Chain A
Amino acid sequence: MSAAAEPAAPRPAFKPAPPTPYQVMMREDRPSGVFLTVLAIVTLLVPILHLAVPEGHVLHLSGYTVTLIGKYMCYALLAVAVDLIWGYCGILSLGHTAFFALGGYAMGMYLMRQIGTRGVYGDPVLPDFMVFLNWKELPWFWHGMDVFPFAMLMVLFAPGLLAGVFGWLAFRSRVTGVYLSIITQALTYALLLAFFRNEMGFGGNNGLTDFKDLLGFDLKHPETRIVLFMATAVALGAGYFTCRAIVRSRFGRVVQAIRDAESRARFIGYRVENYKLWLFTFSAMLAGVAGALYVPQVGIINPGEFAPINSIEVVIWVAVGGRGTLYGAVVGAIMVNYAKTVMTDALPDAWLYVLGALFVVVTLFLPRGVVGLLPDLKHKIQTLRQRRARASST
């Protein structure tokens, strides 16, 4: 405006280069920027440390560690999915690992079909457990699962469909709060019981395991594992970025309004149930992706993944990290799982005490989680300084 009003400028005004999106993010949302930067560094560094640094070197990362970090990142993605609906929409799902496990089973089915004649019974079509159960034909839902794109579609579709149907029923009839939490728990419990049955056609008690290769690459090979690791990192970054975009959009602001005052949002004229349904379904699909990436890395999927306690554990990751902040979910997932890895190794009996105490302490004393600690501390120091300054000035 002002530039146009002055016809002849003696010299071009100093124009700063437009800030890059990265700079914008670092300025407006520093934690997200830091997280994505760290993630990028880890994604690049881990393969180098694993593949390029020779074994025995101090900086060498073992295959075990790579898989462990990959696992943590799957958990982090799951935690982000839970935080998206709990932290931003107030839907406390105690059954989110059901979607995680469904995505995992879809991936597991693809991997089972890839085994082919290398199974114990050597049947070209039927997985081992079906031969063992004396089944003659592939059940209808196993068809097409040997095609990778279709299987990946199912990774999204199966959890999405369940979440869509369940959410449509639940949100339409305005089941909220603890009631919703309890029926999500019942849902995952029902699925747990169902998947334990051999008749379901998902391997019953033992689940799906003995995977050989993915897209023709041997799963035991270090390069394959690194690619899986990087895929997980990319999925986590992309999932995080998408969730961040959602919560910052207009849609996301409505969702947060629903969290804070559902009736008011409804009376203003928003279709609350539609917002909730879309968010819930998206979150379930994200959990499904996390499950699909988890299965080839750990090498097994069984009905135990449906156990209600797993879902509640995810909720505690989010609570520990700090709900309502996506990076908090990531921090919480990694912290708690690292503690679990260390503790179950050193003091297996003490872990449940620690986990239980974590639930109690976090809800009572840390409602904003670990990531809330730092700002709280800053705020306290600031007020203390102000008070001191005021005291010295008078």
Chain B
Amino acid sequence: MFCLQAGAAMAQAAAGNEFDAAVAALPTASYLEKEELAGRIARSAHPQALTLLRGWLEGKLQADAAGHAYLEGEGGYTDALSGAAATPASPDELEKIGTNNRLRKALKGLLAQFGLASAEPGMRIEAVREMRRELDGSAVAALQARLPQETDAAVKHEIELALALAGLASEEPAQRLAAIASLDGDRSTEVYNRLSQMASGDEADADAEVRNAAGAAVRSIDSWRSFYQGVETLFFGLSLGSVLVLAAIGLAITFGVMGVINMAHGELIMLGAYTAYVMQLLMPQNTGLALLLSIPAAFLVSGAFGVAIERVIVRHLYGRPLETLLATFGLSLVLQQLVRSIFSANNRPVAIPEFMSGVWQINDVFSITYNRLYILIFALMVFALLLGVLKRTSLGLKVRAVSQNRGMAKAMGVRTDWVDAATFGLGAGIAGIAGVALSQLTNVGPNLGQAYIIDSFMVVVFGGVGNLWGTLIGGMALGVVNKLLEPYAGAVLAKILVLVALILFIQRKPRGLFPQKGRAAEGH
């Protein structure tokens, strides 16, 4: 028992001696010697070794004239050997123990090897990635040693990748071929760059077979990449489409179902966005909750405005669509100016709560930002909800009845003017909800609505007036086509092309993709 303890103590003492000696030699050593000393410090497995090497790399390792080393910390100095707080006799005379590029590289490698032994899998992955940058013999040896002990699958995968990359640099063509084969299925940028280097160009591999194998691997990665780039474009398109659908779906109710042109629709969206801003002002600590609460709040605010617009203006203009257009346009100017007077003309920031921010990295080429993903889902939910309201509730039944035959509905006892106000309020409220979603994507300013009004009308007309499904499909299709064109034409030209295509499309099919049939169609 005693013996064992004594042995351990002795081993520790030996490590201490090795460590102390190496550190003591540092101030006077040349860079080459320093590199060797760093290796000795690392191998000593002294408890202070990691701290010391890290401090050294960061330029905080200093020594006084007597050769005693200190680490500069935030609060003061610590003794480099013991880690205890210490006060150097004359701090002004301390001299930094310098490093150069080569030495820093070596230090990083050593630190990574320390990381490899860490208990945290995340730290180990970091360490392997660090080592992969400079795969020399010692790093490969360390990784090979680590591989059999490794239990975490992710770390194991990283190590195997690193070893395969090292294999690519092997002298033996057969080993290089084996490395390429083992890399099959890995599509990271690192592997791709390395393989394409080997396949062709100035640094192409000397062996033809290896070159061919690398070329084939590169081609397979290429086709995989272009596939995912396509998927990404599709996602961006759907994301843009979901914004268009959100902006247009309220209009699909007021314009599509009721036949009322509401040019102030964009401003109702803007009011929703400002509601989100005000809710965040009310509860600055909890942006997530504020955002969730602003969905019903925006529905109420914009919906109330909508009901007021219907009661005061639109009601008097039924059957005169062009006059409705002008009156509501005037209203949109007033609402814009109102917002300018209250909140100033400057854009207002709406914070993105934690759960909405961040990126979902699916692989090296394809990533999805959470806010776009959630807004896509949100748009579909709003759509489903609205469809449910129109198809399954008594309000929806009345709305459809009034829109198809006002007189008959009235004769059956439907209070048409109440239904009109409720429908308009519903459409306006949905616009407000769209505003909340938009506040997460763009700046909230008085002109927010104007940017969407023409697009919204185009979506509704394209999809077919009076058809909610048409609005969904129309909006998504316009979004995807826009994003498909963008790489070739640029953002602005793509938008122009889509607009022109839409204008031409309406000439061919004035009633949109999914025209209404039967008697209801004649009303519009």
Contact = CB atoms under 8 A, between A and B. Distances in A.
Contact of B330 (A166, A196, A356): A356
A179 B508 contact: no
Contact of A197 (B493, B499, B500, B503): B493
A166 B42 CA distance: 79
Given A177-B321, A352-B337, A315 B326 contact: yes
Contacts of A344: none
Interface string B51-94: 00000000000000000000000000000000000000000000
Interface in A156-191: 166, 169-170, 172-175, 177-179, 181-183, 185-187, 189-190
Nearest to B508: A173
A364 B507 contact: no
B485 interface: no
A190 B336 CA distance: 23
B506 A179 contact: yes
A173 B321 contact: no
B329 interface: yes
**Contact size class for B?**
35 or more
Interface string B324-354: 1111011111101100110000000000000
Contacts of A177: 321-322
Contacts of A319: 326
Task: Count chain B CB atoms within 10 A of each CB in A308, A312, A360 and give the residue with the most.
Answer: A360
Contacts of B340: 349
Interface stretch (B19-27, B216-224, B291-299, B453-461): B453-461
B331 A359 contact: yes
A193 B454 CA distance: 13
B414 interface: no
B499 A359 contact: no
Interface in B330-383: 330-334, 336-337, 340-341
Contact of B454 (A173, A186, A352): A186
Given A181-B325, A186-B454, A359 B330 contact: yes
Nearest to B497: A190
A356 B496 contact: no
A316 to B, nearest CB: 7
Interface string A57-79: 00000000000000000000000
Contacts of A185: 454, 457
Interface in A308-326: 308-309, 312, 315-316, 319
B504 interface: yes
A37 interface: no
B336 A363 contact: no
A308 B458 CA distance: 14
A358 B330 contact: yes
A215 B152 CA distance: 84
B6 interface: no
A27 B178 CA distance: 103
B317 interface: yes
A197 B458 CA distance: 22
B230 interface: no
Contacts of B461: 179, 182-183
A153 B514 CA distance: 43
Contacts of A362: 326
A364 B323 CA distance: 8
Contacts of B323: 363, 367
Contact of A175 (B322, B500, B502, B506): B506
B504 A169 contact: yes
A355 B332 CA distance: 11
A316 B326 contact: yes
Given A178-B321, A364-B317, A186 B329 contact: no
B211 interface: no
A319 to B, nearest CB: 6
Interface in B101-127: none
Interface residue SS majority, chain B: helix
A364 B322 CA distance: 12
A173 B450 CA distance: 29
Contacts of B324: 363
B136 to A, nearest CB: 49
A357 B321 CA distance: 18
A335 interface: no
A14 interface: no
Contacts of A349: 337, 340-341
Given A182-B461, A315-B326, A363-B326, A356 B331 contact: yes
A363 B317 contact: yes
A312 B510 CA distance: 23
Given A169-B507, A179-B506, A186 B317 contact: no
Contact of B333 (A174, A178, A355): A355
Task: Count chain B CB atoms within 10 A of each CB in A177, A183, A185 and give the residue with the most.
Answer: A183
A194 interface: yes
A166 B500 CA distance: 11
B411 interface: no
A360 B337 contact: no
A353 to B, nearest CB: 5
A243 interface: no
A352 B261 contact: no
A177 B255 CA distance: 13
A262 B327 CA distance: 25
A364 B461 CA distance: 27
Given A92-B322, A349-B337, A360-B313, A183 B493 contact: no
Nearest to B509: A173
A367 B317 CA distance: 11
B495 interface: yes
A365 B252 CA distance: 28
B410 interface: no
A356 B506 contact: no
Task: Count chain A CB atoms within 10 A of each CB in B324, B454, B461 and give the residue with the most.
Answer: B454
A311 to B, nearest CB: 11
A273 to B, nearest CB: 12
A363 B263 CA distance: 14
B507 A178 contact: no
Nearest to B335: A356
Interface string A327-348: 0000000000000000000000
Given A183-B502, A190-B500, A312-B326, 19 more contacts: A169-B503, A169-B507, A173-B508, A174-B510, A183-B503, A186-B503, A190-B496, A193-B499, A194-B492, A194-B496, A316-B330, A352-B336, A353-B333, A353-B334, A353-B337, A355-B330, A356-B330, A359-B326, A364-B313
Interface of A: 92, 166, 169-170, 172-175, 177-179, 181-183, 185-187, 189-190, 193-194, 196-197, 308-309, 312, 315-316, 319, 349, 352-353, 355-360, 362-364, 367
5 contacts: A349-B337, A355-B333, A356-B334, A359-B331, A364-B327
6 residue pairs, one from A and one from B, having the closest CB atoms = A359-B330, A356-B334, A356-B333, A352-B337, A190-B499, A356-B330
